[in-house]
Amino acid sequence: MIAAEPDMDAVLARLGAPALVDVLDERQELLRFGASRITYQHSEQQLRMRVLLIRAGRAVWGVTSRLDTDALDALRSNLEAATVSLPRPSRPTELAVHRAAPRPARTSFPSTALATAADRATAFHEAIAALPSEGELGGAIVHQVIQHTVASTEQPLRTEQRTRALMHLVASRDGQSAYARGLHRDWTAIDRSAMLASATRVLEPLPRRELQTGRTYRAVLAPQAMITLVATLGQMAFGGGVSAFSTRLGEPVLSPLMDLVDDGCDENGLPTTFDYEGAAKQHVELLRQGVVSGLVRDAHSGAARGLASTGHAVPPAWRFGADPLPSHLLLAPGGASDADLLVACDHGLYIQRVDYVRVVHGRETLLTGSPRDTVLLIERGRVVARVPQFRFTVRLTDLFSPNGLLVLGARCERGETPFMESVVAPGSVVSSFPVD
């Protein structure tokens, strides 16, 4: 990754104590395609180092992409000058100390790290060959390698390589589209044949029906739809700061079907063993049978409660806020097959994924969004028609309430969001999905 592995002891010595540095060295290879042709190929390598300095109890962050002595000296000078202008804190800032060793997890695979442009092109041509007649294909294939290092003057060095392989497909025909997504740290673990079957199976010709706006429908939420909704629930409800469930520990808040954990070392997600402070990722039970059983913490929110960090510090100056957030959610599956979900729905909608999701009121778990790609009409447990796109506004505490969440599927899929490294969730049947 880096031509010469940086000497983090020398970097810290140059910055002066107390200091923490967070280094991301990333290489990403991307193949993008649309209308069944390759439209974009991209290769990028970038290095970014975030620096936290504490002087006289005052903390300040800086960012650089250079690790030479001149760049480090200039950054230190600028940051120390900035601390002088800050007011004296009533409680001096101290650098967090995390000495617990991270739990073992495999985070890097040669199949991804060594993947070539030819590998991406081969996968693209396989997908094209599987398309039905008159179909078109869009999407992307990504291979990524990240070396993440957290070094501090107060705690042991943390460093690990993480690979990420992604293939997503949007198949379309006659103005209709369907979606499939494969995500793993190991490129060879992505079942491309199953993805292609999923993306093309729902393109069979069907009549078109209209929906009644202003009412709710029973609905099957496919795994990718659940992934986005569960991730948004995690963002709103389980952070260690002020969140929807932060004062409701021990209370039943959602369906007893819901067992939800956050575990950065679970191989079913995208394993990551430490956070941006260098704290080891912990297994955190968030929901047990719908009862709030835990919240995630960083060093600051944990200290306020006399507790240790659970390894959920977010990057500084993050656009999603400074409070700790879940990072690797896993919703336990149920026992229903995909066919069982349709039967359990009986009459209603099949929603493959949701997009354009925006939080309206976090403490109320209120959000708005729109289905994306395939939305189908179910009658008597069978798919009978396609329906148009629509917007929805829903409280997740209602959608996943004891009367709202009726069935969980047995088959899980893996996904991610801009604010969460990985989410694993099954499909479901819900009793009341709104059509605005």
Q: Above pLDDT 70, what percent of the chain?
A: 99
Classify 117 as helix, strand or coil. Answer: helix
- DSSP, res 104: P
Confidence label for 211 from pLDDT (cuts 50, 70 and 90)? very high
Sign (positive/negative) of CA torsion 75, 81, 85, 87?
positive
Give the number of residues written for the chain: 436
The residue with tokens 């925006």 is 358
Backbone angles phi, psi at 116, to 5 degrees: -115, 170
Residues contacting 66, CB < 8 A, separation 6+? 72
Give helix then strand counts, H and E, for the chain. Answer: 9, 17
Backbone angles phi, psi at 368, to 5 degrees: -130, 155
Parallel, antiparallel or unpaired: strands 215-221 and 420-435: antiparallel
- pLDDT computed for residue 2 by the predictor: 47
Task: State mean pLDDT over 178-186.
Answer: 94
- DSSP, res 102: P
Q: Which helix (H) or strand (E) holds 345?
A: helix 338-345
15-62: pLDDT as tens digits = 999 999 999 999 999 999 999 999 999 999 999 999 999 999 999 999
**Is the separation of the CB atoms in 224 and 355 below 8 Å?**
no
Which has more pLDDT, 5 or 16?
A: 16
255-to-290, 292, 340, 428 alpha-carbon distances in Å: 5, 11, 19, 12
- pLDDT computed for residue 264 by the predictor: 98
- pLDDT computed for residue 177 by the predictor: 85
Q: Is the pLDDT at 261 greater than 70, yes or no?
A: yes
Q: Is the pLDDT at 164 greater than 70, yes or no?
A: yes
Q: Which amino acid is at 301?
A: S
**Is the separation of the CB atoms in 82 and 51 below 8 Å?**
no
Q: Is the pLDDT at 203 greater than 90, yes or no?
A: no
What b/e string do you get for 396-410 counting C-beta neighbours within 10 Å, with b at 16 or more? Answer: bbbbbbeebbbbbbe
**Is the separation of the CB atoms in 226 and 405 below 8 Å?**
no
Please name each of the domains of the chain with its CATH number: 8-201 (3.30.2290.10), 215-435 (no CATH)
Sign (positive/negative) of CA torsion 201, 205, 207, 211?
positive
Confidence label for 306 from pLDDT (cuts 50, 70 and 90)? confident
Task: State mean pLDDT over 304-322.
Answer: 88
- pLDDT computed for residue 322 by the predictor: 85
Q: Above pLDDT 90, what percent of the chain?
A: 84
**Largest Cα–Cα distance in the chain?**
71
Task: State mean pLDDT over 252-268.
Answer: 98
Q: Which of 215, 256, 117 is nearest to 436 (CA)?
A: 215
Q: Which amino acid is at 217?
A: Y
Confidence label for 4 from pLDDT (cuts 50, 70 and 90)? low
Residues contacting 200, CB < 8 A, separation 6+? 130, 131, 132, 135, 171, 178
Residues 401 and 205: their CA atoms lie apart, in Å, by 35
Confidence label for 434 from pLDDT (cuts 50, 70 and 90)? very high
Calculate the CA 248 to chain-centre distance.
24
Classify 320 as helix, strand or coil. Answer: coil
Averaged confidence pLDDT in the chain: 94
The residue with tokens 């107060």 is 154
Say which range, 98-107, 202-211, 214-223, 254-263, has the weakest mean pLDDT.
202-211
Confidence label for 198 from pLDDT (cuts 50, 70 and 90)? confident
**Is the separation of the CB atoms in 332 and 256 below 8 Å?**
no
Q: How many CB atoms lie within 10 A of CB 134?
A: 9
- pLDDT computed for residue 6 by the predictor: 80
Task: State mean pLDDT over 289-297.
Answer: 97
Q: Which of 407, 411, 397, 396 is nearest to 430 (CA)?
A: 407
Q: Is the pLDDT at 413 greater than 60, yes or no?
A: yes
Task: State mean pLDDT over 198-227.
Answer: 91
In SS3 terms, 264-302 reads as CCCCCCCCCCECCCCCECCCEEEEECCEECCCCCCHHHH
